[in-house]
Protein backbone atom coordinates (compact mmCIF):
# COMPACT_ATOMS: atom_id res chain seq x y z
CA UNK A 1 0.00 0.00 0.00
CA UNK A 2 1.53 3.33 -1.03
CA UNK A 3 1.37 6.31 1.33
CA UNK A 4 1.70 9.05 -1.27
CA UNK A 5 -1.98 9.77 -1.82
CA UNK A 6 -1.97 13.56 -1.33
CA UNK A 7 0.76 14.43 -3.90
CA UNK A 8 -0.76 12.07 -6.47
CA UNK A 9 -4.26 13.43 -5.92
CA UNK A 10 -3.06 17.04 -6.10
CA UNK A 11 -1.14 16.23 -9.31
CA UNK A 12 -4.23 14.70 -10.90
CA UNK A 13 -6.47 17.64 -10.03
CA UNK A 14 -3.85 20.15 -11.12
CA UNK A 15 -3.30 18.46 -14.49
CA UNK A 16 -6.90 17.43 -15.26
CA UNK A 17 -9.12 19.35 -12.83
CA UNK A 18 -9.92 22.05 -15.40
CA UNK A 19 -11.50 19.41 -17.67
CA UNK A 20 -15.04 20.10 -18.78
CA UNK A 21 -17.08 16.97 -19.29
CA UNK A 22 -20.37 18.09 -20.75
CA UNK A 23 -21.72 19.80 -17.60
CA UNK A 24 -21.51 23.49 -16.62
CA UNK A 25 -18.61 22.97 -14.22
CA UNK A 26 -15.07 21.60 -14.34
CA UNK A 27 -14.05 18.35 -12.71
CA UNK A 28 -12.45 20.27 -9.83
CA UNK A 29 -15.54 22.47 -9.23
CA UNK A 30 -17.76 19.37 -9.35
CA UNK A 31 -15.52 17.48 -6.92
CA UNK A 32 -15.43 20.36 -4.42
CA UNK A 33 -19.19 20.94 -4.63
CA UNK A 34 -19.90 17.27 -4.01
CA UNK A 35 -17.58 17.34 -0.99
CA UNK A 36 -19.31 20.48 0.30
CA UNK A 37 -22.74 18.86 -0.06
CA UNK A 38 -21.52 15.78 1.83
CA UNK A 39 -20.16 17.99 4.61
CA UNK A 40 -23.41 19.95 4.79
CA UNK A 41 -25.33 16.71 5.32
CA UNK A 42 -22.98 15.62 8.09
CA UNK A 43 -21.55 12.66 6.19
CA UNK A 44 -18.68 10.76 7.81
CA UNK A 45 -15.12 11.66 6.74
CA UNK A 46 -14.82 8.62 4.43
CA UNK A 47 -17.98 9.56 2.55
CA UNK A 48 -16.95 13.22 2.32
CA UNK A 49 -13.66 12.14 0.74
CA UNK A 50 -15.48 9.67 -1.53
CA UNK A 51 -17.71 12.53 -2.70
CA UNK A 52 -14.65 14.64 -3.56
CA UNK A 53 -12.90 11.78 -5.36
CA UNK A 54 -15.84 9.98 -6.97
CA UNK A 55 -15.03 11.06 -10.52
CA UNK A 56 -11.24 10.70 -10.55
CA UNK A 57 -11.79 7.91 -13.08
CA UNK A 58 -12.92 10.53 -15.61
CA UNK A 59 -9.60 12.32 -15.13
CA UNK A 60 -7.61 9.08 -15.34
CA UNK A 61 -9.37 7.96 -18.51
CA UNK A 62 -7.38 8.94 -21.55
CA UNK A 63 -10.41 10.57 -23.17
CA UNK A 64 -13.65 10.18 -21.24
CA UNK A 65 -15.49 12.86 -23.24
CA UNK A 66 -14.69 11.07 -26.51
CA UNK A 67 -15.83 7.75 -25.01
CA UNK A 68 -19.28 9.20 -24.30
CA UNK A 69 -19.33 10.86 -27.71
CA UNK A 70 -18.61 7.50 -29.34
CA UNK A 71 -21.26 5.70 -27.31
CA UNK A 72 -18.80 3.85 -25.04
CA UNK A 73 -19.24 3.64 -21.27
CA UNK A 74 -15.87 4.77 -19.85
CA UNK A 75 -16.44 2.72 -16.64
CA UNK A 76 -14.91 5.63 -14.74
CA UNK A 77 -16.37 4.43 -11.43
CA UNK A 78 -14.43 1.15 -11.66
CA UNK A 79 -11.24 2.79 -12.92
CA UNK A 80 -11.34 5.41 -10.17
CA UNK A 81 -12.13 2.97 -7.34
CA UNK A 82 -9.35 0.64 -8.44
CA UNK A 83 -6.79 3.44 -8.62
CA UNK A 84 -7.81 4.76 -5.19
CA UNK A 85 -7.73 1.31 -3.58
CA UNK A 86 -3.93 1.54 -3.39
CA UNK A 87 -4.49 4.04 -0.55
CA UNK A 88 -8.04 3.71 0.71
CA UNK A 89 -10.33 1.01 2.02
CA UNK A 90 -13.87 0.13 0.90
CA UNK A 91 -15.47 2.87 3.01
CA UNK A 92 -14.00 5.31 0.46
CA UNK A 93 -13.74 3.17 -2.68
CA UNK A 94 -17.07 1.28 -2.58
CA UNK A 95 -19.39 4.30 -2.68
CA UNK A 96 -17.29 5.47 -5.65
CA UNK A 97 -17.38 2.08 -7.38
CA UNK A 98 -21.16 1.90 -6.88
CA UNK A 99 -22.18 5.48 -7.72
CA UNK A 100 -23.15 4.69 -11.31
CA UNK A 101 -25.12 1.64 -10.21
CA UNK A 102 -26.78 3.93 -7.65
CA UNK A 103 -28.07 6.08 -10.51
CA UNK A 104 -29.54 2.97 -12.16
CA UNK A 105 -31.02 2.00 -8.74
CA UNK A 106 -32.58 5.42 -8.14
CA UNK A 107 -34.11 5.40 -11.63
CA UNK A 108 -35.78 2.09 -10.77
CA UNK A 109 -37.04 3.20 -7.34
CA UNK A 110 -38.04 6.82 -7.97
CA UNK A 111 -39.90 7.58 -11.18
CA UNK A 112 -39.25 11.32 -10.80
CA UNK A 113 -35.51 10.84 -10.32
CA UNK A 114 -34.86 10.23 -14.01
CA UNK A 115 -36.50 13.53 -14.96
CA UNK A 116 -34.20 15.43 -12.59
CA UNK A 117 -31.03 14.07 -14.23
CA UNK A 118 -28.97 16.32 -16.47
CA UNK A 119 -29.05 15.69 -20.21
CA UNK A 120 -25.59 14.13 -20.02
CA UNK A 121 -26.55 11.86 -17.10
CA UNK A 122 -29.62 10.68 -19.01
CA UNK A 123 -27.46 9.93 -22.01
CA UNK A 124 -24.81 8.04 -20.05
CA UNK A 125 -27.58 6.11 -18.22
CA UNK A 126 -28.35 4.35 -21.47
CA UNK A 127 -24.66 3.47 -21.95
CA UNK A 128 -24.57 2.22 -18.35
CA UNK A 129 -27.45 -0.24 -18.73
CA UNK A 130 -30.54 1.92 -18.05
CA UNK A 131 -32.71 1.65 -14.91
CA UNK A 132 -32.23 -1.50 -12.80
CA UNK A 133 -34.73 -4.32 -13.00
CA UNK A 134 -36.45 -5.19 -9.67
CA UNK A 135 -34.14 -8.12 -8.90
CA UNK A 136 -31.05 -6.02 -9.64
CA UNK A 137 -32.34 -3.25 -7.34
CA UNK A 138 -32.97 -5.74 -4.53
CA UNK A 139 -29.47 -7.17 -4.87
CA UNK A 140 -27.95 -3.69 -5.05
CA UNK A 141 -29.49 -2.40 -1.84
CA UNK A 142 -28.02 -5.33 0.09
CA UNK A 143 -24.44 -4.47 -0.92
CA UNK A 144 -22.15 -2.92 1.70
CA UNK A 145 -21.96 0.86 1.21
CA UNK A 146 -24.95 0.87 -1.19
CA UNK A 147 -26.71 3.56 0.88
CA UNK A 148 -23.53 5.64 0.90
CA UNK A 149 -23.37 5.28 -2.88
CA UNK A 150 -26.99 6.44 -3.18
CA UNK A 151 -26.25 9.50 -1.02
CA UNK A 152 -23.11 10.24 -3.05
CA UNK A 153 -25.10 9.88 -6.27
CA UNK A 154 -27.58 12.52 -5.18
CA UNK A 155 -24.82 15.00 -4.37
CA UNK A 156 -23.26 14.11 -7.73
CA UNK A 157 -26.51 15.07 -9.48
CA UNK A 158 -26.71 18.54 -7.95
CA UNK A 159 -23.02 19.43 -7.52
CA UNK A 160 -22.89 21.09 -10.93
CA UNK A 161 -23.67 24.73 -10.16
CA UNK A 162 -21.50 27.42 -11.73
CA UNK A 163 -19.75 29.71 -9.22
CA UNK A 164 -20.96 27.85 -6.12
CA UNK A 165 -18.66 28.39 -3.14
CA UNK A 166 -16.94 25.33 -1.67
CA UNK A 167 -13.98 24.55 0.58
CA UNK A 168 -10.60 24.31 -1.17
CA UNK A 169 -9.16 21.01 -2.33
CA UNK A 170 -6.41 21.42 0.28
CA UNK A 171 -9.08 21.47 3.02
CA UNK A 172 -10.42 18.11 1.86
CA UNK A 173 -6.90 16.71 1.57
CA UNK A 174 -6.62 17.04 5.37
CA UNK A 175 -8.91 14.00 5.55
CA UNK A 176 -6.54 11.81 3.55
CA UNK A 177 -3.92 10.86 6.19
CA UNK A 178 -6.69 9.74 8.55
CA UNK A 179 -8.32 7.56 5.92
CA UNK A 180 -5.41 6.13 3.96
CA UNK A 181 -3.99 2.79 4.94
CA UNK A 182 -0.23 2.47 5.26
FE1 LIG B 1 -19.86 13.11 -10.70
With cut-offs at 50, 70 and 90, classify the pLDDT of residue 83: very high
Q: What does the DSSP assignment read for 20-43?
A: B-SSSSBHHHHHHHHHHHHHHTT-
Candidate from 35-49, 76-90, 107-121 with smallest mean pLDDT: 107-121
Count of structural domains, the chain: 1
Residue 121's pLDDT is 86
What spacing in Å lies between the alpha carbon of 96 and ligand 1's midpoint? 10
Residue 7's pLDDT is 94
With cut-offs at 50, 70 and 90, classify the pLDDT of residue 161: very high
SS3 string, 68-99, reads: HHCCCCCCHHHHHHHHHCCCECHHHHHHHHCH
What spacing in Å lies between the alpha carbon of 142 and ligand 1's midpoint? 23
User: How large a percentage of the chain has pLDDT more than 90?
Assistant: 74
What spacing in Å lies between the alpha carbon of 27 and ligand 1's midpoint? 8
With cut-offs at 50, 70 and 90, classify the pLDDT of residue 66: low
Q: What does the alpha-carbon distance between residue 101 and residue 54 come to, in Å, rounded to a whole number? A: 13
What spacing in Å lies between the alpha carbon of 102 and ligand 1's midpoint? 12
Query: What does the mean pLDDT of the chain come to?
Result: 91
What spacing in Å lies between the alpha carbon of 51 and ligand 1's midpoint? 8
Q: Which domain holds residue 146?
A: 5-179
Top-confidence range, 21-25, 122-126, 154-158: 154-158
What spacing in Å lies between the alpha carbon of 177 and ligand 1's midpoint? 23
Please choose, from the candidates 69, 62, 60, the residue with its C-alpha nearest in 3D space to the C-alpha of residue 17. Answer: 60
**Is residue 38 pLDDT above 90, yes or no?**
yes
What spacing in Å lies between the alpha carbon of 76 and ligand 1's midpoint? 10
Residue 60, domain CATH: 1.10.3210.10
What spacing in Å lies between the alpha carbon of 54 and ligand 1's midpoint? 6
Amino acid sequence: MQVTAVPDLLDLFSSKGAMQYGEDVTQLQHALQCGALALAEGACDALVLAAVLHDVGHMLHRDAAAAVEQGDDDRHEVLGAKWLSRWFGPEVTDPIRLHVQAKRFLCARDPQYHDRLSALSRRTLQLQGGPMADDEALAFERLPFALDAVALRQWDDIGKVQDASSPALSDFMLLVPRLSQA
